[in-house]
């Protein structure tokens, strides 16, 4: 896992550590020392810790004018033992909501497992964005992770599955990916937040 780094091709256009409005503003990264782990596996030092013991994030792109953010995740999403959604909501999303970010593309390619618990933070997040015409889209969720999310009915709060599980986003410019996700949501069988 140590060689899986956050998507870097948008760094010419956006870096969270240089964005004064980012929760990770001013963060420094040591490319030669691996200190963060998901269980016993070191992860690349570019991933950002937001309080979870098993899930890490990277804000890969934010557009303040259009009000959207792309956040890439890695690790195990464990709401049951660690309440990861609480950390995600309180340490990242609440911060970004204050900056008028109401559309979230959560890139889940590297989310290895999902362990559910209470859905109140998802409901709160949904209410926060839908009141402003926004939405939440979980993109490229692995099949077993998707099944676990659907079992606890996260689709009541988050756009997932449907036509969001096979998005080829590497190599695309961030604004084009945003437009594609909006189009996929508009053409999907179910869309939340509108």
Exposed e or buried b per residue across 26-44, where buried means at least 16 C-beta atoms within 10 angstroms of its C-beta = eeeeeeeeeebebeeeebb
Question: Domain residue spans in the chain?
Answer: 16-187
Output DSSP code: residue 156: G
Query: Any bridge partners for residue 138, and if so which?
Result: 106
Sign of the torsion angle spanned by Cα atoms 23, 10, 180, 150: negative
The mean pLDDT value of the chain amounts to 93
Say what the pTM is: 0.94
Question: Is pLDDT larger for residue 5 or for residue 150?
Answer: 150
Name the pLDDT band for 135 (thresholds 50, 70, 90). very high
- Does residue 98 carry a pLDDT above 50? yes
The pLDDT of residue 190 is 45
Q: Could you tell me if 60 and 100 are in contact, meaning their C-beta atoms sit under 8 angstroms apart?
A: no
14-42 pLDDT tens trace: 999 999 999 999 999 888 787 888 888 88
What's CA 127's distance to the chain center, in Å? Answer: 17
The DSSP result for 132-167, as a single string, is TT-EEEEES--HHHHHHHHHTTGGGTSB-STTSSS-
- Beta strands 103-115 and 135-139: pairing type? parallel
Q: Stretch 166-182: mean pLDDT, rounded?
A: 96
- Does residue 66 carry a pLDDT above 60? yes
Question: Is pLDDT larger for residue 35 or for residue 51?
Answer: 51
Query: 16-187, which class in CATH?
Result: alpha beta
Q: Stretch 93-106: mean pLDDT, rounded?
A: 98
Tokens coding 89: 């909501």
Phi, psi of 135 (to 5 degrees): -160, 170
The pLDDT of residue 83 is 93
């Amino acid at each position: 896992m140590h060689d899986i780094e956050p998507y870097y091709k948008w760094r010419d256009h956006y870096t969270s550590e240089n964005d004064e409005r980012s929760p990770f503003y001013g963060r420094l990264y040591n490319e030669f020392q691996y200190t963060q782990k998901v269980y016993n596996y070191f992860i690349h030092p570019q991933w950002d810790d937001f309080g979870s013991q098993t899930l890490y994030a990277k804000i890969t792109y934010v557009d303040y004018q259009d009000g959207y953010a792309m956040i890439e995740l890695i690790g195990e999403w464990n709401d049951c033992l660690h309440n990861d959604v609480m950390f995600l909501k309180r340490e990242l999303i609440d911060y970004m909501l204050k900056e008028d970010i109401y559309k979230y593309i959560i890139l889940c390619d590297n989310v290895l497992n999902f362990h559910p618990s209470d859905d109140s933070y998802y409901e709160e997040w949904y209410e926060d964005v839908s009141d402003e015409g926004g939405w939440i889209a979980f993109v490229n969720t692995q099949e077993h992770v998707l099944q676990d999310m659907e079992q606890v009915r996260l689709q009541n709060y988050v756009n997932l599955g449907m036509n969001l599980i096979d998005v080829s986003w590497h190599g695309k410019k961030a604004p084009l990916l945003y437009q594609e996700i909006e189009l996929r949501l508009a053409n999907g069988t179910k869309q939340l937040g509108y």
